[in-house]
Every structure is written in structure tokens, then in C-alpha cells.
Amino acid sequence: MDDEELQAILDRRVDVRRLLSRLEFTEETVINAALTQAKLYKQASIYRVQKLAQRSNAETKLDLVKAEIGLRKREAIAKKDRTETEIKDMVALNPKHRIARRKLNNALVEEQFAKMLVDAYDMRMQAIRVVAQMAAVDISLDKRMKERAEELGRAYEQIGRKYGR
């Protein structure tokens, strides 16, 4: 995958509310759920990748802000008057650093949410499989019961013919 393809994925709009609303399905809608699963899973995965990239960018931004502020503080304060602990404290108190830290924290939360959304779609696929298997078993049982009922009917008719009923 080249940079353009990756950027196209990162720029794609993903409707998270729609993904959340489509997670649930009923026995009656299982066929539609199965038909849409791959597309919805793909969208959830794209959202996950987007949030991963957002977190990575936020980490890089925070590192750059820390380095920039730290360099400025080191240049502004004479070497004999500063300690690294003081510089770190000054960096941590800087508004640009706090904003970058908050953005990283938000990105981490959003990335975790995106991961859980993909996990939910994994579980949805498993649920679709279970419902489909249950439906197949139900159909098989109905067929067997019908066959048995027909056999009993034939046996009843034979007994009736044999004993004149």
C-alpha cells in the first residue's frame, strides 16, 4: 500500500453512530446482518486505523512540544541555575504542553473505543454464525418431525387397513 492509498483510508469518513446502531440484529434480520457484516466490519476497521494514526500523531506532537519548550527553557536559564527536574516541571506547566497532553489522552481514549468497536463486530459475526446454525438445526428438526409424522400417518393407515378401521 502506497502513501496515497493509506492517506485515502485515513481521510475516509466513517459514520460511527451508524456503526453503533447496526451492531444489534434480531432473528428476523439475521440474513441482512450477515449480508452487511463484511462492509460494517471494514468500516469499523478503517475507524480503528484512523484512531491509531491520530494517537500516533498526538504522541509525536507531544514529544515535539516537550522538546521545543525544554530547549527554550534551557536557553533562557543559565546552566548553573537550572536542574533537569526544574526544566521538566516548567515544560509540564506550559499551556502548549498541557494542550498536547490532553489531545494525546483524548486520542488514547478514542483509540480504545475504536478497538472495542472492532471487537464488537467480531462478536457480532460470531452471533450471526450461532443464529444461522440454530436456524439450520431448527429447520433440520422441523424436517425430521415432518418425516416422522408422515411415517406415523402411514403406519396408522396400515393399521387401520389391517384391522378394518
- Is residue 50 a contact partner of residue 22, using CB atoms and an 8 Å limit? no
10 pLDDT above the threshold of 90: no
Instruction: For residue 19, give its domain range.
Output: 3-125
134 domain residue, yes or no: no
pTM: 0.74
Question: What's the confidence (pLDDT) of residue 147?
Answer: 79
Tell me which residue of 16, 8, 7 sits closest to 40, measured CA to CA.
Answer: 16
* 69 located within any domain: yes
CA–CA dist 106, 114 (Å, integer): 12
Residue 157 lies in a domain: no
The total number of structural domains in the chain stands at 1
Distance set, CA 106 to CA 85, 112, 124, 147 (Å)? 26, 10, 27, 61
**Chain center to CA of 92:** 33
Task: Please report whether residue 60 resides in a domain.
Answer: yes
d(Cα 65, Cα 61) in Å, to the nearest integer?
6
Q: pLDDT digit string (tens) for 85-134? A: 888 888 999 999 999 999 999 999 999 999 999 999 999 999 998 888 88
Has residue 70 been placed in a domain? Answer: yes
Q: Which pLDDT tens digit goes with each residue over 58-83? A: 999 999 999 999 988 888 887 777 78
Residue 113, in any domain of the structure: yes
Cell numbers for 14: 466513517
29 HSE (CA, 13 A, CB side)? 9
- Please indicate, yes or no, if residue 162 is contained in any of the structural domains: no
Report d(CA 39, CA 154) in Å as an integer. 50
Q: CA-to-CA distance for 146 and 123, rounded, in angstroms? A: 34
C-alpha cell at 164: 378394518
* H-only helix segments in the chain: 3-11, 16-21, 30-76, 84-93, 95-162
